[in-house]
Amino acid sequence: MAVGLRLDFPTLTLPDYDSVCDALNFPAQWPDGLKAHASTEVDGHLRVMDWWESRQHFDRFVESHLQNAMGKALGDRAEAPEVTEFQLHTIYTR
């Protein structure tokens, strides 16, 4: 079932996000199962909003790619996000 995820990174900012995207070669290498992605800064910290085919797709991506990319891009400043998961009733895209 499709799932929405909000990822809040308490100490990271948009330039940190850009560094991690460079390390991932994202969006050129689009992750399997990711349907939509957005990022913003809220009250001085990074927030990412995703729509995935399933939570399992997201978890596989974190284990196989994201953790390493964050370590490469941010070193000891890499941090796990606070994740809020929600089921999607509808989402419309063109």
Supply the CATH number for residue 26's domain: 3.30.70.100
* pLDDT > 90? residue 91: no
- Is residue 93 in some structural domain? no
Contacts of 35 (CB under 8 A, 6+ apart): 2, 51, 52, 53, 91, 93
Quote the strand ranges of the chain, DSSP E.
Answer: 3-9, 34-42, 45-52, 82-87
Query: Confidence band (pLDDT; 50, 70, 90) for 89?
Result: confident
Q: How many domains does the chain have?
A: 1
40 pLDDT above the threshold of 90: yes
Domain residues for the domain of 53 are 3-87
Answer yes or no: is 94 within a domain.
Answer: no
Q: Is residue 55 part of a domain?
A: yes
* Entry pTM: 0.91
Q: Is residue 31 part of a domain?
A: yes
